[in-house]
């Protein structure tokens, strides 16, 4: 029995922003496209980090409730965005802060299109 070809390929969320460079993103999209037949579908999504938002505040609330606050801080560099996730929790005795930092590639929508 021959190899079956996919009818749908998805890449959702931000995996493309973790690739090392734009050429790697283009290569993956070309590979995906070569796997599809006419009429099949490819769905790609990622956050648009190509432009820096206006203003100097680059800290965004992600989630908040009575016991938790989750913030995300973005630092824009030429090719990458530094992301720091900050998670505060409280209980009846004390608060806790946990954070982690990682980098994402700045990808413009026209590169994916």
CB atoms within 10 A of CB 106: 19
pTM exceeding 0.75? no
Give residue-wise pLDDT tens across range 40-72.
999 988 888 888 877 766 888 899 998 899 999
Ordered by start, the domain boundaries in the chain are: 8-112
Close Cβ partners of 103 (under 8 Å, ≥ 6 residues apart): 80, 81, 82, 83
Higher pLDDT, 112 or 88: 88
pLDDT score of 83: 92
Instruction: Identify the architecture of domain 8-112 in CATH.
Output: Single Sheet (2.20)
């Amino acid at each position: 029995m021959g190899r079956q070809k996919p009818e749908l390929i998805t890449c959702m969320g931000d995996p493309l922003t973790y690739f090392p460079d734009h050429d790697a993103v283009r290569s993956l999209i070309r590979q995906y496209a070569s796997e599809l037949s006419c009429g099949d579908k490819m769905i790609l999504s990622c956050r648009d980090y190509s432009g820096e938002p206006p203003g100097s505040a680059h800290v965004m609330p992600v989630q908040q409730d009575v016991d938790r606050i989750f913030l995300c801080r973005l630092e824009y560099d030429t090719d990458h965005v530094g992301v720091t996730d900050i998670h505060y929790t409280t209980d009846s005795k004390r608060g806790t802060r946990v954070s982690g930092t990682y980098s994402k590639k700045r990808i413009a929508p026209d590169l994916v299109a």
